[in-house]
Structure 1
Amino acid sequence: MSHTSDTAVVPDLRSGQSKNLALATLAFAVSFWAWNMIAPLGVRYAESMGLTSGEKSLLVATPVLVGSLGRILAGALTDRFGGRLMFTVLLVATAPFVLLVAFAGDQDSYGLMLLFGFFLGIGGTTFAVGIPFVNAWFAADRRGFATGVFGAGMGGTALSAFFTPRFVDWFGYGVTHVIIAVALVVVALVVWSAMRDSPVWSPNTDPVVPKLAAAMRLPVTWQMSFLYAVAFGGFVAFSTYLPTYLKDVYEFDLTQAGTRTAGFAIAAVVCRPIGGVLSDRIGPRAVAATSFAGAAVMAVVVALQPEPEIPAGISFVVLAAFLGLGTGGVFAWVAAMAPKERVGSVSGIVGAAGGLGGFFPPLVMGATYDEADHSYTIGLMLLCATALVALLYTLLGIKKRKEPVSG
């Protein structure tokens, strides 16, 4: 009976999976662009408002907070209402706060920037919507590929880093925010009209709180939360703080720093689906271990402050590549280990952990910055140590019997 059911749904899945994967990735990318609107202009805000290093770090990290914690609720609601509705609602809900951030910036109000930046984090919750949505469209042996491709939508941070400062130069500060707000609404309309939930998906109508509690009782939730906090958290931390880092250490201006930050993000984005595909073939444990080992080594290399352009550029790109592999590998592991009916809830919690992993490092970087030497050595050594702990846990802390069976 199960075999007959599977055979019946395969044609429907194949006929819609590519389109829906593309739409989910588009929605994710645009929402992540909006989520990252403050960081590329962080230097501008710091100068216009006279912010200290700590205040600047808090400003660029604040949207990450809601974008992280909000994923827990977004993932659980996706299990109940489906990805089509949740993507649409979250895209529309983010748009007003893009405009309000522009208003706060025009007023040079640090308090309003923190307030509206907090709610701008709604845009970061779409990640927890896309993982269960995409999982339902693909068979188990292709979920590493599918979640990797969807995860490439985190390239929205690269688009933001590269284009946001340029849009401000080309169109003006206020118009730039209007463009992104309109893009959010337009993509929401496209998603609502063209996206469809998988025919094998069915609503999980369990009450949200017990559902989250059940997900939290699963060992996979906490195992993957830790690993994702290191891999994705490292990516988010660098994507948000790198413009400030490059100005402090290498004295690049806003546009130059944005361009280089975009290169960092693109490297991670390209490597995320590679991590997913490799996980389908050699297992996510090997991919995650390679990621953490490489990140530990590259954190030391970056701390040595290699000369611009080529040595420094290559160092940051390689660091980003290792982090990107890790994000793809960890979520392929989630797809393989989480119970089908709990994928949204588990993804939300794991995604929240990843976002929180990106919230604290900018604060640590700001607090440990050595102004006399223009150095972030302490923060980078802490990254190295954290990556090594994650490597040991990946190799020794997760039972091998829970690995996905190939074939």
Structure 2
Amino acid sequence: MSKQGKTAATMALVMGTLAMLVSFMAWSSLAPLANQITKDLGLTISEKTFMIATPVLLGSIMRIPMGYLSDRFGGKKVYIALMIFVLIPLFFIPMALNASSYGMLIFLAFLLGMSGTSFAVAISYISVWYPPEKQGLVLGLAGMGNIGNAVAALSLPKISQGFGLSGVYYFLMILLVVMIVLFYLLCQEMPVNKDKTLGQAFVVAKEANTWYLALFYFLTFGLFVSLSNLLPALLADSFKITPVRAGLWAAAFAAVATLCRPIGGALADKVNPMKLLEGLFGLMFILSLCLAWTMGSLALFMTSIIVIALLTGIGNGVVFKMVPFVSKGNTGTVTGFVGAIGGLGGYFPPLFMGVIKQHTGSYQSGFYFLTAMIIVCLVVLYLAFIKSGNSDFN
């Protein structure tokens, strides 16, 4: 790679990751403010968890077309267009809050979900600049843009205390405008195949490995998204701690999971990734039971949360190490499929947990369904890769 090419690759990695960080701050912005919004609008527990989950829906299903668009037209163009679009819901959310309009807020939260598609665009844009032997580490580093969840949980409640809920969204708009300008000035467009058709890109849906990775990511990334978003409300409801303190714990979870992601990618460059997932899922099975059994103690519960954050982060890195090898030239589309299913893994649990909390008075039973999901992934992993000797990703 020439010096100019190395510079372009480095800038793609740095700016693509930073843009994802800011986008993820916007994507997860309602979660750390949920208790305050609930109080201001007089919401029920189910309405609160529905509000928290709503941005995840569009942010998941739109990863598929956004990944394709990035592969087809170029990640720089698509990334900038995406960030410009996200400014729209950020601008109108303060109006919905000031009008105490839950319906308008849900509609804008749905549109805000587009910021979550930044993941598919970033992976497509960044991956083309690096050779296969570096994909695990590079995509792990790119995935650190997920730390936007932690930054949001840590900073937004404090900004809200000083400048109100509206101030939070004006702050996010400023960050996004700065990122748009920097991305336009500093980044080069990626090479694209302008002859690629939609049918050629979506051939990845016929690959069994696409769906296996999607299932595993449904567990690992879904757990990351759902707990990052749900923890502030869960901790405040279950342990009666302040929103700022709950945000600190949620930030700790998101930070640990995000920082461990490149470790997972680097490990998967060296070791059989399916064997790694087998060990990770086994440990996650144990930790899921610990989450259910330690709801009576904040210290024990948060210890379990931090350990499962570590496992989740490593698992995310391991899964995405394998994405570029499913279908050459279609990394964005594979990323879209896998990321969409993974994102949906973060959409349903908060809704489900909200219903459980409202009807039982506790979130505890919800963690047993996490245990069941882990068992499903372990069985599929064993049958499809361990027992069969499938070496597609070795």
Report if TM-score (shorter chain) is over 0.5.
yes
246 and 219 in structure 1: CA distance in 2 versus 1, 3 angstrom threshold:
same
User: Is 1:42 matched with 2:25?
Assistant: no
User: Is 1:278 matched with 2:267?
Assistant: yes
Following the alignment from structure 1 to structure 2, what is the Cα–Cα distance between the partners of residues 397 and 224? 11
Question: Which range moved further: 95-104 or 304-313?
Answer: 304-313
Structure 2 counterpart of 1:350: 338
211 and 119 in structure 1: CA distance in 2 versus 1, 3 angstrom threshold:
farther
Secondary structure of the structure 2 residue equivalent to 1:403 = coil
Following the alignment from structure 2 to structure 1, what is the Cα–Cα distance between the partners of residues 195 and 156? 40
Q: How does 1:206-285 map to 2 (within 5 A)?
A: 206-208=196-198, 210-285=199-274
Code of the aligned partner of 2:123: I
Secondary structure of the structure 1 residue equivalent to 2:62 = helix
Following the alignment from structure 1 to structure 2, what is the Cα–Cα distance between the partners of residues 309 and 228? 28
For structure 1, the residue ranges without an aligned partner over 5 or more in a row are 1-8
TM-score (norm 1): 0.92
Q: Number of residue pairs matched? A: 392
Offset of residue 10 of structure 1: 5.6
Offset of residue 170 of structure 1: 2.0
10 and 310 in structure 1: CA distance in 2 versus 1, 3 angstrom threshold:
farther
User: Is 1:395 matched with 2:382?
Assistant: yes
- Residue deviations 1:235-279, cap 9 Å, x none? 101011111110121111211111110001001011111110000
Structure 1 counterpart of 2:276: 287
Following the alignment from structure 1 to structure 2, what is the Cα–Cα distance between the partners of residues 295 and 99? 40
Cα contact 1:97–1:117 (8 A) shared by 2? yes
TM-score (norm 2): 0.95
Following the alignment from structure 2 to structure 1, what is the Cα–Cα distance between the partners of residues 340 and 185? 29
Code of the aligned partner of 1:392: V
Following the alignment from structure 1 to structure 2, what is the Cα–Cα distance between the partners of residues 341 and 204? 12
Offset of residue 102 of structure 1: 1.8
Following the alignment from structure 1 to structure 2, what is the Cα–Cα distance between the partners of residues 403 and 207? 26
Offset of residue 196 of structure 1: 1.8
User: Is 1:16 matched with 2:35?
Assistant: no
Code of the aligned partner of 2:197: P
Structure 1 counterpart of 2:287: 298
Following the alignment from structure 1 to structure 2, what is the Cα–Cα distance between the partners of residues 132 and 249? 40
Code of the aligned partner of 2:213: M
Following the alignment from structure 1 to structure 2, what is the Cα–Cα distance between the partners of residues 386 and 309? 24
Cα contact 1:293–1:391 (8 A) shared by 2? yes
Q: How does 1:52-91 map to 2 (within 5 A)?
A: 52-91=44-83
Cα contact 1:287–1:325 (8 A) shared by 2? no
Secondary structure of the structure 2 residue equivalent to 1:150 = helix
Offset of residue 53 of structure 1: 1.7
Offset of residue 166 of structure 1: 0.5
94 and 315 in structure 1: CA distance in 2 versus 1, 3 angstrom threshold:
same
Structure 2 counterpart of 1:110: 102
Secondary structure of the structure 2 residue equivalent to 1:340 = coil
Question: Which range moved further: 47-56 or 88-97?
Answer: 47-56
Code of the aligned partner of 2:232: P
Question: What is the alpha-carbon root mean square deviation over aligned residues?
Answer: 1.7
For structure 2, the residue ranges without an aligned partner over 5 or more in a row are none
Cα contact 1:158–1:262 (8 A) shared by 2? yes
Cα contact 1:288–1:325 (8 A) shared by 2? no
Offset of residue 397 of structure 1: 1.6
User: Is 1:180 matched with 2:172?
Assistant: yes
Following the alignment from structure 1 to structure 2, what is the Cα–Cα distance between the partners of residues 402 and 85? 36
Offset of residue 309 of structure 1: 4.9
Following the alignment from structure 2 to structure 1, what is the Cα–Cα distance between the partners of residues 211 and 146? 23
Secondary structure of the structure 2 residue equivalent to 1:206 = coil
Determine which of 311, 314, 317 is the counterpart of 1:328. 317
Determine which of 350, 355, 365 is the counterpart of 1:362. 350
- Residue deviations 1:73-104, cap 9 Å, x none? 10000111111111111111101211212221
Question: Which range moved further: 390-399 or 163-172?
Answer: 390-399
Following the alignment from structure 1 to structure 2, what is the Cα–Cα distance between the partners of residues 341 and 193? 26
Cα contact 1:96–1:181 (8 A) shared by 2? no
Following the alignment from structure 2 to structure 1, what is the Cα–Cα distance between the partners of residues 342 and 241? 29
- Residue deviations 1:124-177, cap 9 Å, x none? 001011112221111111100011001011000001111011011122221221
Offset of residue 212 of structure 1: 4.8
